[in-house]
Structure formats: C-alpha cells, structure tokens
Amino acid sequence: MNLSVEQACLTETDLDRIRHAADHVRDHDTDQVLAGLLPGLTADERADVVRHLGYDHTAVLVFPASLDGLHDDLRSAGLDPGPVTPSVVVRGRLARRYGAVLGDSPVGIVHVPVAGRTVEIFALPVPPGSPLEAVAADERAGGHESHHAFAVTAPGRVIPAGLRTLLTERGGAVPDGGGYNNHENVTVLYFRSADHRRFELRLPGRQEPLPDPTLALLGVMTGAWATQAVRTMAELGIADHLAARPALDTTTLATLTATDPDALRRLLRYLATLGLLTSSPDGTHHLTALGEPLRTHTEQSLHPLALLYGGPFYDSFAGLPYAVSTGKEAFAHRYGKHHFRYFAEHPELAGLFHRSMAASAEMFTPVPDLVDFSGARRVVDVGGGNGALLGRILRAHGHLAGVLLERPDALAAARSELTDLSGRCTFAEGDFTESVPSGGDVYLLSRVLHDWDDARCRTILHRCAEAMRPGAELLVVERLLPSETAAAWDLHMLCNVGGRERDEAHYARLLEEAGFKPTSCHALPLGAALLRAARN
C-alpha cells in the first residue's frame, strides 16, 4: 500500500469534520463526554467512573481522493499528524458492511495530538467518480466509525469488570464487540449508547472480551432447547439416579432410564454445558449444585416446575404473538379455556400446578419473622393454594388459628399439606371475587393479584376490605417490577392467565382505592416482596 505524502486531497467537508472532532477533544472533559453519551448515569455514578478512566480520543472517518497528501492537508489545517499507517480493523468493518464494492481499497489511520488527547482519523481513499462515493455518502450520514474512546486507568480485572457492568446496566450502553490489539497491547471493547452513538473502552493488556452479540442472540433464541432439555432430565429422573449412584456411566444410566445410549449421551453433553451435571474423562456423570433441585421428594424441589414449564406453559408461550397482538392470554386461545378452569378439569395438571407452587415456597421463609403476630388470633389466607404460607405462619406462632379460602381442587392439596394443623386450621370453599371469610386479624394474598387485571384486582381487594375490621392487616406477596425476574414473569402472566406483574407504586394505588393504607415493603427470596397494608 502506498501511504506516501504528496498532494492535497481532503474536501472542505472532511476538513470541517476533523476540525469539529479536534474542538470536541479540546473543549470537553471525561465527565462531559460521559454525560452526553450516557445520560442515564447520575452525577455521582459518573464521578465514580471518572476516577478509573479518562477521555482518550475521538475518531472520525474521512474520504480523501487518495492517501497521498493527507499529511499536508492536516498540517495546513493547523494540526500535527503522526504517520499514516494501515487500519486493518476499520477496513474489515467497512468490508463487512459494503462487501465487494470496497475492492482492495486501503484504509489509513493517522493520530493527531490535541490538548493532551488525540483525534484518530481513519481515511478511505475515494477517487472522483468511484463507486466508493456512495459508501462515503452513507458513512458521512451514518457516522458508523465516528466514536469517542476512554482509556481505563485502573489495573487488574475487578474495576474494569465493574465499569463494564455499570455502563451497561445503569448507563444503558449496548456491547458491540471488540478484541485484543497486539500492536498496542490493549483490549478494545466497543459499545453503542441508547441513541446508537459508538464509544470504546481501552483496557491495558489482554482482557476477556464481551460476548459476541450474534452468539449471544443465538443463545437467547435457543433458550427453548434448554427448557426442553431440563424437562427431559426431570421426566427421566436423571437427577435422582445420579444422586443415588454417583459417577454413573452412560450405558448404566441409559438402562436405568430406558433410553437410547447414544441419544442419552448427547443429552448429557448438552446438560453439562448448562451446568446441571459434569462428565468426567472416564465417561461417568456427576450431579452439580445447579442440577440438585431437580431431584424429587426433597425440600424445595423444582422438579414439578421443570415439568410445568416444559409442558403446558411451554406450549402456551407458542401463542405469545397472539397475546401481544390482542392483549388476551394465549393459554385460553390454545386450550379453549382459561388456565384455572382447564387445570381444574384435568386433575393431573392441577396436581402438578399445586406442587409447582409449593416448589417456590422458599420465598415465604422470612414472613413469619417480618410481621408481629403477637396481637393477632386469626389469619385468613385468601386464595392461598396448598396453604404453604399459612402453614409456615401457624407453625411459627402456636397461638394463631387459620382459615384457608380456595377452590375445591386446591383445598384437597391444602388438607394434605396442613394435616399437622388440622386442629387449628379450617378450610373454606369459595370464590374470592364474591366473598371472603370475616373475623380475621391478618389476611394473606399470596401470588393472587398478579393472576388478574386491575379491574379484577380491585374486586378482590374490595372483598377483602369488606371482610376486614379497621386496623386489620393485609399481607400481599408478589414479584415487583422492574426486576428482571418480575419482567419475565410479567410476560408469563400475560401469556398464561391474562394477569400482570406490577411495581410497588401500582400495588399501592390499587390498595388505596380499595380502602387500605400501605405501610411497608420487604424483599423476600426468589425475587418476591412482602407488601403490608392496614384496613382504613
């Protein structure tokens, strides 16, 4: 490639773009550039970031008639350019965007020092009348290669990893590839801001790159494969077999599960990539801590959830486009009936559903100690499923009596769950949209309101208010937006029952409209929260 310096070549348009970049480098500090790129960061967050990185350079792509004369034009503009060298990275990106039209055209790079920083100039030669004029027009309009860059000054890996997390989770930056530059011994990580402007983090030495966006997207799109692999592991009882006889080989496990050895080996290999088990060089397999909850008949087993998520709930999610288009639940569209009615008519699914609800009862663990029950005598659980929360409260506070209101199919499971409390717990068959048992000091609504739209929630809360005396307490257990867990469940509720997850303020409005005064909110395990309210 000929990168000699002989003749003038830059247009006034490109000179203006270079001058603008130089002015930006001269007039802005690190905090100002961050504020412009990532307005979601608070001033305090930016101050923390600035302690560990500095504004390094601004880059611009220009289109001289040739690379010859580039130095002279830059010097005439009052700049002091370094040598022009090939830019393999930018040329590769342009080739991916424009394909064969780029031909064998070189791309040069020259660094111009400005006020202790740098303007990084990329130059793609575009001779007059060349097909590359269309490329130049598109690049000038899109500014694809224009960016700001920050140099991370903190040594090691911990602080750079924290910076990456802060910029993406709080600042809204989107990773856009990157890699190690062995010429400069730096790792360059590319990002895009919310308004699609590019910026870079330059980390000293070789650092772990951010996930490739295409591979990451493929991982998201194949999540259904993981769901079905976990379901199959649960159906075959693989976790139980590996727990009972550690270090089983594939042939023995295939005999125990009545499966094809080769097909089972392929399933086990995939399950290992998911972290549910490990496979040793000697051909034996071992259950991991992540796979442990798929065992049956253990406390807080997630085995029922694996079957439910990989079964009817998995099928209903195929109707998600319908749910998003109409606002109606996909389950009823695919099965012909609402989720609760359909499950009630299919006892095997009703039993699986109640076991699945019990599987996530860990969220209830702190509740008996978070609330002062000393002044209460009667606790009413409204729509409490198998009574998991009510049972924990009654067992923790021996002076309490309880009432569980539920549908007939749910009460059968509850009677089995609460056999040790038969003298202190009564069961009421009914519909909480019509009436709720009166006379309680504390009322429970656990994972009920998220099953319904706002209108039905108001009805349920009004029925509770009608049954409660002034001062009586209502405990609501739900997942709260905007957490990632609640966001996923919100889509699940839309798809399967037509309900929704809500944020704390939304629940507060519903409670106040029904005659309650919200008093506090406590975090619970598994992404849940306890909302407390008093009857006015």
Task: Please give the positions annotated as active site.
Answer: 450
Residues in CB range of 246: below 8 A, 6 or more apart: 286, 287
Judge whether 315 and 334 are in contact, CB under 8 Å.
yes
* DSSP class per residue in 222-255: THHHHHHHHHHHHHTTHHHHHHHSSSEEHHHHHH
Q: Map 198-224 to HEC letters.
A: EEEEEEECCCCCCCCHHHHHHHHHCHH
Cβ 465 vs Cβ 476: under 8 Å? no
Q: 379 - beta bridge partners?
A: 402, 442
C-alpha closest to that of 475 among 431, 502, 499, 507: 507
- The tokens for 336 are 């012909």
Are 296 and 244 a contacting pair, CB within 8 Å?
A: no
User: Which residues neighbour 350 within 8 Å (Cβ) at sequence distance 6 or greater?
Assistant: 343, 344, 409, 410
- Beta partners for 112? 119
Q: Which residues contact residue 102 at a Cβ distance below 8 angstroms, ignoring those fewer than 6 apart?
A: 91, 94, 95, 132, 135
Q: Where are the alpha helices (DSSP H) in 53-87?
A: 70-76
Looking up tokens 């802060």, which residue turns up?
A: 166
The secondary structure of 252-318 as a DSSP string is HHHHHHT--HHHHHHHHHHHHHTTSEEE-TTSEEEE-TTTGGGSSSSTT--HHHHHHHTTHHHHHHT
Exposure string for 388-424, b = 16+ CB within 10 A, e = fewer: bbbbbbbeebeebbbbbbbbebbbbbbeebbeebeee
